[in-house]
Amino acid sequence: MSGILGFADAEFRIALRNRWVAILTVTMALFALVLTLAGSGPTGTLGADQLSVTVASLTGLAVYLVPLIALLVSFDAVAGEVERGTLALTLAYPVTRWGVLMGKFLAHIAILAVALLVGYGVAAATAFGLDPDAARGLEALVRLYWSSLLLGASFIGIGYLASTVARRPATAAGLVIGVWLILIVLYDLGLLAGVVADDGGAFTTRVFPWMLIGNPADAFRLFNLAASDATAAAAGVDGAANSIMPLQALASIAIWPFAAFALAAWRFRRIVP
């Protein structure tokens, strides 16, 4: 336990000094600010409070940025230690490999929690400043926060997996960018193409919803839009949100962190330092 906390402490400091994390946190805060200010117009006509509208916008933003931050802090976890030669040293200590990875996992989730607190905090503060009724959207914001952490944890686990597969930091970095591109950008395009080609057939009704839920990023978006009052505000953005139960989407983003971490830990055991 002392070893896990030791790793968590050290890795948290490393991530705190990681320029990428700082840049992405600032980016997120700026985007959140812009989205909140830009979204301040239509609230009257929709009848939703300012914060609910902001949360809907933030959900779209988080799908891109949260996995990116998660992958950028995690890709070096194993490959970096292999390259620096510290993995052999670490494993000569009385710690388990599982403990090493768990310590890093805790630290990286913590740094993500801080980054999101800053980003969403800026948005929330602005929304409260613009609309006295913003408290109505607080529940949606809290839900967005913890589901973002689950989404981030999933991608931290995926980053570790890439790190153990690549074994070299440069390769791992390339790999996680590829993973991000596929899971966040191309996946949806592929599904969309499938739905269009299928024209309402078995793929659209049977396979498509499950494929959507199987991807943690899509499950995250579905869960937040379906569960939030802001669905109306986002209507048309994601029509599928109505056909899938938020509970199944929630199950997906709740299982993903454990599955990804377990897979990475299993792969890590096979690495000879």
Name the site residues for another protein (rule: CB under 8 A): 2-3, 5-7, 9-10, 13-14, 17-18, 80, 84-86, 88-95, 272-273
Which is nearer to another protein, 7 or 31 (by Cβ)?
A: 7
Least CB distance to another protein at residue 92 (A): 4
Which is nearer to another protein, 95 or 177 (by Cβ)?
A: 95
Tell me how far apart the alpha carbons of residues 210 and 222 are, in angstroms, rounded to a whole number.
12
Least CB distance to another protein at residue 99 (A): 9
Least CB distance to another protein at residue 268 (A): 14
Which is nearer to another protein, 49 or 76 (by Cβ)?
A: 76
Cβ–Cβ under 8 Å, residues 146 and 44: no
Least CB distance to another protein at residue 14 (A): 5
Least CB distance to another protein at residue 76 (A): 9
Which is nearer to another protein, 86 or 242 (by Cβ)?
A: 86
Which is nearer to another protein, 207 or 271 (by Cβ)?
A: 271
